[in-house]
Amino acid sequence: MACFIYAIFGSCKDSPVGPTAIAAILTRENLHNLGPEFAVLLCFLSGCVELLMGILQLGFLIDFISGPVSVGFTSAAAIIIATTQIKDVLGLSFPGSKFLDVWEQLFEHISETRLWDTILGFTCMAILLLLRKAKDISVGPRDTIGQTRIQKVVNQFLWLLSTARNIIVVVVCAVMAYLFEVHESQPFILTGHVKPGLPPFHPPPFSAQVGNHTYSFLEMSSTLGSATFVVPLLAILENIALAKVFSDGKAIDATQEMLSIGMCNILSSFVSSMPVSGALSRGAVNHASGVSTTFGGIYTGILVILSLQFFTPYFYYIPKASLAAVIIAAVVFMVEFHVVQPMWRTKKVDLIPAFATFLSCLFIRLELGIVIGIGINVVFLLYASARPSVRVEKAMSPSGCEYLLITPDRSLVFPSVEYVRNVVSKAGMKLGSCSVPVVIDSRHIQGADFTAAKGIKSLIEDFVKRNQPILFYNLKPSIVEIFQGVQPKDFKYCQNESELNELLKGKQRRATVA
């Protein structure tokens, strides 16, 4: 469903909208084992939130998920997904999806490990990782023009082998399992029966029966809780990130993307889907395969429908261990430990939100982890806006008048103005002599607000009381207007150096006369 809808509304040709690993793990965490109705409702609600974000132009919210937070989250999600699959590789069976739970149970059940499932799982993983590398092998010269025809065919074959590695492994394993089944000596745990055919088209469930309790719409929504916002945010984040990677520098219409993903989710919920979004790995396949418009999604959609209609009986034979191997081999590359080094080189403090997100995703809860990460990052941002750096230096005007030059490095807004006022006051008083004028270089002050204007007014009053001259240099006319709104007395400012020198000369003369 999502493929077809995105083909109509989407703006990124490479985006293959559908279920993703991140969406799946988030959905699973928030179902609290209450059944698929909740996943479908989550899909519907996510769509509504995305549509709303598109309509209200709230795309800027996505920008608040910083690189470090996103890396921490993705890595933790990948590790959690891989963890939940290990038991299938080993042929074990126990409930639980929490990171620590799973590891605890793994060690408890480790004696029940099944030999053949383990061998199959690890073999599949090894083959998958080798095949993944296959597309980097190039027979003959690097340049396609210099290659012979056979070399070209071999290279293309290697590329296909590498790209289609998942399906190849799964099909081979399923055939193997089928043959064992025919000889009635099945060594593997199989996927088992999968409901065939297309899902019915009906509205998403607005109530659900679990055990003896009927959940109303409100109860269902409150059970889903923060997932209703985290799932859409991450869906949009992933889709926009993917669109950017393959856009060759063209600007992305984030609003259009939010609207399309929203439509995809809302309509997908009518066919009992879990939340959907674009996936980077599938997008890379699309891009490499030469997809050139969003119509590519129609082919994907048709293939999915054909599979559902005709191939489900064969899903029975897919060994669980090989499926788990496919998942692990895919997600293991989402763990981005390699960004720690550049992060250390660029800004060490960014490692704090990264690790905070990573650890809280892993040990507390995925959505909570990302919220904590964003929170820490926003606190950094707010702290920076509350505590600007202010340069204080002594300077001399051409006319030989000494003055104190104070340069705040950013806009004056409510959290920072009192701090700047303190710094300026202290610097002014430290001088000892009240006849030395203080000049505030306002070149970096791009904006101000009412609180700032009031603070500046008090600052000027303090200086007037002390009989120390204070003047504003390089002050933008728009800021002058804001400051004048509170009608400060003795507010002196100038836009350029010659005006400054004139003003300083005046001060000096007056000081000399006095």
Interface contacts to its own copies, rule CB under 8 A? 60, 63-64, 66-68, 244, 248-252, 342-347, 349-350, 377-378, 381-387, 389, 409-411, 413-419, 422, 425-426, 429, 444, 446-451, 453-454, 458-459, 461-463, 465-466, 482-487
- With DSSP H G I counted as helix, E B as strand and the rest as coil, what are the percentages for the chain, rounded to 5? 65, 5, 30
Q: Which is nearer to its own copies, 314 or 419 (CB)?
A: 419
Minimum distance of its own copies from residue 340's CB (angstroms): 10
Minimum distance of its own copies from residue 417's CB (angstroms): 8
Minimum distance of its own copies from residue 375's CB (angstroms): 12
Instruction: Tell me which residue has tokens 């429908």.
Output: 305
Minimum distance of its own copies from residue 365's CB (angstroms): 22
Minimum distance of its own copies from residue 422's CB (angstroms): 5
Minimum distance of its own copies from residue 182's CB (angstroms): 53
C-alpha to C-alpha distances, 95 to 84, 115, 187, 308, 450, nearest whole angstrom: 10, 21, 22, 27, 58
DSSP symbol at 319: B
Contact 435, 455 (CB under 8 A): no
Q: Which is nearer to its own copies, 28 or 444 (CB)?
A: 444
Buried b / exposed e along 344-355 (16+ C-beta atoms within 10 A): eeeeeebbebbb
Q: Which is nearer to its own copies, 210 or 241 (CB)?
A: 241
Q: In terms of Cα–Cα distance, which of 132, 133, 127 is closest to 170? A: 127
d(CA 358, CA 373): 8
For helices 254-268 and 36-55, angle between their N-to-C axes, nearest 10 degrees: 150
C-alpha to C-alpha distances, 172 to 164, 179, 391, nearest whole angstrom: 12, 11, 68
Q: Which is nearer to its own copies, 155 or 451 (CB)?
A: 451
Contact 297, 3 (CB under 8 A): yes
Minimum distance of its own copies from residue 388's CB (angstroms): 8
Q: Which is nearer to its own copies, 315 or 463 (CB)?
A: 463
Q: In terms of Cα–Cα distance, which of 205, 230, 221, 237 is closest to 26? A: 230
Q: Which is nearer to its own copies, 192 or 485 (CB)?
A: 485
C-alpha to C-alpha distances, 396 to 27, 241, 442, nearest whole angstrom: 65, 51, 18
Minimum distance of its own copies from residue 386's CB (angstroms): 5
Q: Which is nearer to its own copies, 139 or 413 (CB)?
A: 413
Neighbouring C-beta atoms of residue 512, cutoff 10 Å: 8
Name residue 53's amino acid.
M
C-alpha to C-alpha distances, 194 to 190, 216, 313, nearest whole angstrom: 11, 29, 7
Q: Which is nearer to its own copies, 28 or 454 (CB)?
A: 454
Minimum distance of its own copies from residue 484's CB (angstroms): 8
Q: Which is nearer to its own copies, 162 or 416 (CB)?
A: 416
Contact 86, 79 (CB under 8 A): no
